[in-house]
Amino acid sequence: MEDAHGRPARRPGTPLTPHETALLELICAGTWRGADEARAQLVHARWGGKDHSGDACFLIDVPARVDTPRIPSHAGGPIATLDVTDGDKPFGLLELWVEDGRLHSLDYSIFSDTAGEGLPELHQIDGTIASGGTE
């Protein structure tokens, strides 16, 4: 089976690509509340499929059988975000979402027509991590 671009279709549970892993490592870095737990889960993370069409987001599967600490609950929205830019021109936000204390998805919210539809390149990521609210 092939995807819309003629590539072999990925199945949930397959390994993350090196690029997906690098983006997740960037957004899980830092000292925000839950970052340690997120990094512990990231070690076991697999590609979880797509929540909706497009290449700018993907679900994260942390197998339930893996005993990792849960990420503390927070007030809603993404738990961490990174700005995506081209120099000083903003392209969007990379957002890490959590559900029930587990990594859930990485989304790229695009607000530039020139940003493209795929995940951002590493050089486009601003290293300042903003974290979501805490409960």
Q: Are the C-beta atoms of residues 133 and 78 closer than 8 Å to each other? A: no
| Res 134: pLDDT | 44
Give me the pLDDT at residue 131, please.
74
Per-residue pLDDT of the chain (135 residues; tens, 9 = 90+): 555 556 667 899 999 999 999 999 999 998 889 999 999 999 999 999 987 666 678 999 999 888 999 999 887 889 999 999 887 888 889 999 999 999 999 998 888 665 567 899 999 897 777 776 544
- The residue among 134, 23, 17 whose CA lies nearest residue 81 is 23
Are 93 and 81 in contact, with CB atoms under 8 Å apart? yes
Which residues are 89's β-sheet partners? 86
Task: Enter the pTM of the model.
Answer: 0.86
Each domain of the chain, given as residue ranges in start order, spans: 18-131
Residue 92 pairs with which residues in a beta bridge? 84, 110
Task: Tell me what pLDDT residue 98 has.
Answer: 94
Encode burial over 12-39: b for 16+ CB neighbours within 10 A, e otherwise: eeeebeeebeebbebbbebebbbbebbe
